[in-house]
Homo-oligomer: A and B are copies of this chain.
Amino acid sequence: MTGVQLRAGLANADLIAVLVAVTDNEPRVMTLRAGEALPSGPFESQHRSLQSGLRDWIESQTSHPVGYLEQLYTFADRDREAPSEAGAARRISIGYLGLVREQVTPGTGQPQWHGWYEYFPWEDHRDRRPAVLDSIADRLDSWAGADSLRRERVDFLFGQNGLPWNEDLALQRYELMYEAGLAESPSRPAIEGFGRPMTGDHRRILATGIARLRAKIKYHPVVFELMPDSFTLLHLQRTVEALSGLRLHKPNFRRQIDQQELVEETGEMSSGTGGRPAKLYRYRPTVLQAQALAGPRLPVSRH
């Protein structure tokens, strides 16, 4: 790094966005090329920060303001694309995760929204344990063979052998599947039934976004960036469930929302889709809440 060990290189960099919205209780991601690619492109050089440039661009595309935008990861591995001629520059992509408010599913506009469970069908545990998990487990089983380390990893990541399912491990699950040859790669075609493939490493980038968002909603009130101005508590719950791929315990969910004082009643009632009309709520943002909600997990000595 002192200029001796590392050789200088000029890198080609671009931005790549995982844009998420939740419509009809389904988490969706913005795609191009018939769902094959995430939106991406080279730098916008006018803006001061990448973030603000990206924000502008998204707003022009979706006609909704971006509620939340965060940097995900910078992808720069050598084997991201199909092998190119020697001497080609390493391709760098700076990935961003963005949240936009609920959208009416557009007709045939260029940017299309696809349900993210099309790409990761094994991640949706809302109704039941997905059936795909059995065939995945089969394949991973033979991949692991007698290697106990591999078996342990599989059991842990996919909730086998009595271990619990952990929704946050979406990225690590995908990476394991990739390693085991169950996902498309420059040298491998996609396998039927194991989720819709994408170009290059876009599916990995999407998995990164999903995992990040699933982890995030536990500490930060970012879900509200996906909600309309007013909503019922069940609607909010369904949105969280959509993202996490899990079912939640209704009374406890309400209690939590209540305790955290994140929302307030608008005074109006929902027109009611089935049963008793529900109160409508709105988000009550605070400077404090915007940042930290996680309880301290260190045994801190107060005083």
In the complex the two chains form, what is the Cα distance from A298 to B253 in whole Å?
8
Report if A299-B256 is in contact (Cβ < 8 Å); known contacts: A45-B7, A94-B76: yes
The answer to whether A6 and B291 touch across the interface, beta carbons within 8 angstroms, is: no
* A 1-56 contacts with B by CB, 8 A: 1-3, 5-13, 15, 17, 32, 39-50, 53
Interface string of A238-280 (1 = CB under 8 A from B): 0010001011110011011000000000000000000000000
A41 engages B3 (CB within 8 Å): yes
CB proximity of A236 to chain B, nearest CB, Å = 13
A11 to B90, CA, bound (A): 12
The answer to whether B301 and A247 touch across the interface, beta carbons within 8 angstroms, is: yes
Given A152-B287, A248-B299, A301-B249, A6:B44 Cβ within 8 A:
yes
- Total copies of this chain within the assembly: 2
Cβ contacts A44-84/B at 8 Å (1 or 0 each): 11111110010001001000000000010110111100000
| Pair B13/A79 contact, Cβ less than 8 Å | no
The chain A residues found within 8 Å of chain B, CB to CB, are 1-3, 5-13, 15, 17, 32, 39-50, 53, 57, 60, 71, 73-74, 76-79, 90, 92, 94, 110, 149, 152-153, 156, 166, 168-169, 172, 217-219, 240, 244, 246-249, 252-253, 255-256, 287-288, 291-292, 294, 296-301
